[in-house]
Amino acid sequence: MRVDGENLRVEDVIKVARYGERVEIDEGVRERVEKSRNIVEKILREKKPIYGVNTGFGELANIRIENDRVKELQENLIRSHSCGTGEALNEEVVRAIMLLRLNSLAKGFSGVRYELMEKIAEALNKKFYPYVPSQGSVGASGDLIQLAHVALSLMGEGEAFHEGKRMASLKAMKKIGMKPIHLQAKEGIALINGTQFMTAVLCLSYYDAVNLIKNAQVAGAMSLEALKGTRQAFREEIAKARPYKGQIRVARNLWRLCEGSKIMESHRNCQKVQDAYSLRCMPQVFGAMYEALDFIHHILEVEINSATDNPLIFDGEVISGGNFHGEPVAIAMDMLNIVLTKISSFSERRIARMLDEKLSELPPFLAKEAGLNSGMMILQYTAASLTSENKSMSYPASVDSIPTSANQEDYQSMGSIGARKCMQILENAEKVVAIEYIVASQALDFIKMDSSPAIESVRKIIRKNVKKLEGDRAMYEDIERVFQMLHNGEIIREVEKKIGKME
């Protein structure tokens, strides 16, 4: 995959971060990077003050640094900012951070040497995995602490992982045949000013959220079949009467998912007029989520191809600005957390409905010999717990701010807080939908008719991994198996064999 600073896509980030695709720097990058580097060196020779190059940082910006100490200044910057705490970020997040930082530098506004970019590309291609704590960023001046830990490892200081073991960075480098980089003027600040931690998490989580919302629609259609609902609420004329693009997409998906259902055909002329909101309003609710996801995608496509450090170099001029501020990403992250929480909440309502004999007309808790067996009663407890946890975490992080650097940096985005929450909210939501798959499969086993071909294919693949519940058993492993099938896209691939690509 070629990095050129202009054309990176979310899908490219996934390929490199999650699947280890090699990166190359586009041929056109070197000229513009070296041009801006020459400007930095010219200004240094002239001994003009440049923020963060030959001055202190933040509130210390008025302190001048002599040219013979600017290299020391850059390395001290990295060391002083490497003070994160909390659990280490997983490898795919760290790889995404490095790729996004590389792409930002490739725009040629940062004043770094081309060799620095080559070192980041080498680190990605040799699977160098810096130790990066997850806590510490306030999301303005960028994700300073996480990016500093990446830079510290590239300097051969700090720590890194190799084959699952945490060790000194220099030791890990020796094992993969890599040498540390020695930072020059401007390069320390160019490495740590930016939104790459929160943007990396948003890229990965957005990609997984798109997969999740497809699964949530499939599970919802499955629940609709189990509850003997109708697909008439998914008719195209209803969606076009309120023509949100997301609603129209979902209505089409659900209509195709239910196509050919013998269960629905059997109660075409029943007395029920309409279904509960968690069934009937799936186009409206999921559709609104798609509208939000489209906005998030727009933010990502801009952010991952932006120069986000400070100062930036333009035609011989060095200009201080604020592109490092994470506000666009922070707001998008909070929106994603809300969407993911709503997916889990929506799914939990259908789970509860299938397990309630008064609403489902199915055996209580889908148990055989109810009373002796509790059936799937406690699966709903788990779904309720995960959903409640999501609700408690989905309050927007970006509405908060605590000033830093003696009030020089007096308004923060806190997007990194939203990013940390997002990783857990996403996993919780995936597990709630996995539980809906398990419950809906069990419910359909009590109905002696075939559901639609698409839903039957899902039930078959789930039954390969989760046996029908004949009597009470521990089900924690069942949840984990279906969660993995959902997360890796296996279920959606099976569905799309039957109905074509979901919109």
Mean pLDDT along residues 318-341: 96
Contacts of 125 (CB under 8 A, 6+ apart): 22, 23
Domain check: are 38 and 109 in the same one?
A: yes
Pure H helices in 138-281: 144-154, 169-176, 187-192, 196-226, 236-240, 245-257, 262-266, 277-280
Q: What angle do CA 281, 287, 293 make, to 5 degrees?
A: 145
Domain check: are 125 and 189 in the same one?
A: yes
- pLDDT band of residue 318 (cuts 50, 70, 90) is confident
Domain housing 431: 201-308+319-398+416-499
Over residues 433-456, the pLDDT tens digits come to: 999 999 999 999 999 899 999 999
Kindly write down the DSSP assignment for every residue of 55-107, as one continuous string. Answer: B-SGGGTTSB--GGGHHHHHHHHHHHH---EEEEPPHHHHHHHHHHHHHHHTT
Structural domain ending residue among the three candidates 174, 194, 214: 194
Domain check: are 207 and 333 in the same one?
A: yes
Per-state percent for the chain, helix, strand, coil, to nearest 5:
60, 5, 35
Is position 51 annotated as part of the catalytic site?
A: yes
- pLDDT band of residue 405 (cuts 50, 70, 90) is confident
Is residue 405 included in any domain, yes or no?
Answer: no
Is residue 420 within 8 Å of 145, Cβ to Cβ? no
Over residues 119-142, the pLDDT tens digits come to: 999 999 999 999 999 999 999 988
Over residues 353-375, the pLDDT tens digits come to: 999 999 999 999 999 999 999 99
Structural domain ending residue among the three candidates 152, 169, 194: 194
Whole-number pLDDT of residue 418: 97
Mean pLDDT along residues 474-485: 98
Is residue 313 included in any domain, yes or no?
Answer: no
Domain check: are 153 and 246 in the same one?
A: no
Is residue 214 included in any domain, yes or no?
Answer: yes
Query: What is the C-alpha separation between 248 and 492, in angstroms, rounded?
Result: 19
Is residue 21 included in any domain, yes or no?
Answer: yes
Q: Which of 51, 244, 395, 411 is catalytic?
A: 51
The share of the chain scoring above pLDDT 90, in percent, equals: 87
Whole-number pLDDT of residue 323: 93
Contacts of 142 (CB under 8 A, 6+ apart): 192, 193, 194, 195, 196, 308, 309, 324, 325, 326
Token pair 């693009």 in the structure block, residue? 245
Whole-number pLDDT of residue 67: 81
Structural domain ending residue among the three candidates 171, 194, 217: 194
Domain check: are 219 and 286 in the same one?
A: yes
Query: What is the C-alpha separation between 360 and 430, in angstroms, rounded?
Result: 24
Task: Write the CATH number for 250.
Answer: 1.20.200.10
Over residues 262-281, the pLDDT tens digits come to: 999 887 766 676 899 999 99
**Chain centre to alpha carbon of residue 86:** 19
- Report the SS3 class of residue 194: strand
Query: What is the C-alpha separation between 220 and 216, in angstroms, rounded?
Result: 6
Buried b (16+ CB within 10 A) or exposed e, 298-317: ebbeebbbbbbbbbbbeeee
Closest CA to 503 of 299, 257, 302: 257
What's the distance, Cα to Cα, between the start and end of the chain in Å? 26
Assess whether pLDDT exceeds 70 at residue 183: yes
Domain check: are 218 and 185 in the same one?
A: no
Structure tokens, 182: 């020695």
Mean pLDDT along residues 312-333: 93
Domain check: are 148 and 245 in the same one?
A: no
- Report the SS3 class of residue 179: coil
Domain check: are 75 and 133 in the same one?
A: yes
Is residue 408 included in any domain, yes or no?
Answer: no
Domain check: are 178 and 230 in the same one?
A: no
Residue 160: phi and psi, rounded to 5, are -150, 170
Is residue 411 included in any domain, yes or no?
Answer: no
Query: What is the C-alpha separation between 390 and 277, in angstroms, rounded?
Result: 21
Whole-number pLDDT of residue 270: 67
**Average pLDDT over the chain, rounded to whole?**
95
**Half-sphere exposure of 395 toward its Cβ, with a 13 Å CA cutoff?**
6
Task: Write the CATH number for 14.
Answer: 1.10.275.10
Is residue 494 included in any domain, yes or no?
Answer: yes
- pLDDT band of residue 78 (cuts 50, 70, 90) is very high
Structure tokens, 365: 């808790």
How many domains does the chain divide into? 2
Strands (E), 30-123: 85-88
Please report, as a single letter, which amino acid is at residue 205.
S
Domain check: are 378 and 494 in the same one?
A: yes
Is residue 226 included in any domain, yes or no?
Answer: yes
Domain check: are 394 and 490 in the same one?
A: yes
pTM of the model as a whole: 0.96
Domain check: are 212 and 288 in the same one?
A: yes
